[in-house]
């Protein structure tokens, strides 16, 4: 492997690890910074196995924002897995996305943090599929520079999410304004 490609692979791997840590913090730990704050999400344990019902429905209306958030949160997963495993076929790329999503849902049930919902699983997995598609488009548009372009975008997005997390942590942004 050429040194330039190795450097890009290392950068992609580093950004992917940061993404997975942030994704876990967002999905499983509900963007909380303390166990005490996380405890507000541990009052119930539920499982919804009917798509687009249950926890995504409020007053009989599907909350598309929650579904959209789940989709968007996993788009980078599809991009990263495609960048790191370019030779894998589609289903092999999809498998780790689905496994991580399922692991998150099971973890929420086991630790009684939020609820486990098939709608979340489907949204997460669909987001990964979109990410795989975005990578495919970038490969078509940027040819040999797709990884460079995506790493730059991923780096900028990572910085933005980290700044957002710091603003949350230090009280500049309040969670109740985001929902």
3-state secondary structure 82-102: HHHCCCCCHHHHHHHHHHHHH
179 part of a folded domain: no
Number of other residues whose CB lies within 10 A of the CB of residue 140? 9
The answer as to whether 178 is a domain residue is no
Nearest to 121 by CA among 50, 20, 15: 50
pLDDT in tens, 125-169: 999 999 999 999 999 999 889 889 999 999 999 998 889 888 877
DSSP states along 131-161: HHHHHHHHHHHHGGGHHHHHHHHHHHHHHHH
Domain-located, residue 25: yes
Report the C-alpha gap between 58 and 62 in whole angstroms: 6
For residue 2, what is the DSSP state? -
91 in any annotated domain: yes
**What pLDDT digit, counting tens, does each position of 100-136 carry?**
999 999 988 888 777 788 989 999 999 999 999 999 9
* Number of domains comprising the chain: 1
Give domain status of residue 129, yes or no. Answer: yes
User: Between the CA atoms of 16, 17, 19 and 24, what dihedral angle is there, to the nearest 10 degrees?
Assistant: 140
Residue 108, pLDDT score: 85
Residue 58 lies in a domain: yes
How many percent of the chain have pLDDT more than 90? 48
What residue numbers bound the domain in which 23 lies?
Answer: 3-172
Residue 65: what pLDDT?
82
Token pair of 43, please?
A: 């009052």
CB neighbour list of residue 82: distance below 8 Å, 6 or more residues apart: 93, 131, 132, 135, 136
Tens digit of each residue's pLDDT (9 = 90 or more) over 44-94: 667 776 777 766 556 667 778 888 989 999 999 999 999 999 999 999 999
CA-to-CA distance for 38 and 113, rounded, in angstroms? Answer: 8
């Amino acid at each position: 492997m050429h040194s330039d490609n190795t450097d890009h692979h290392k950068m992609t791997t580093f950004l992917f690890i940061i993404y997975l840590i942030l994704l876990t913090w967002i999905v499983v730990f509900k963007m909380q910074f303390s166990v005490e704050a996380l405890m507000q999400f541990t009052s119930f344990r539920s499982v919804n196995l009917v798509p687009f019902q249950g926890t995504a429905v409020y007053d009989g209306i599907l909350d598309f924002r929650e579904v959209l958030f789940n989709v968007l949160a996993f788009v980078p997963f599809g991009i990263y897995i495609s960048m790191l495993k370019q030779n894998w076929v589609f289903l092999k790329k999809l498998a780790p996305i689905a496994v991580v999503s399922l692991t998150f849902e099971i973890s929420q049930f086991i630790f009684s943090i939020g609820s486990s919902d098939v709608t979340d699983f489907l949204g997460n997995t669909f987001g990964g599929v979109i990410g795989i598609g975005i990578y495919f488009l970038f490969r078509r548009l940027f040819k040999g520079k797709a990884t460079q372009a995506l790493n730059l975008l991923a780096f900028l997005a990572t910085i933005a999410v980290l700044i957002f997390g710091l603003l949350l942590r230090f009280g500049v942004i309040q969670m109740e304004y985001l929902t």
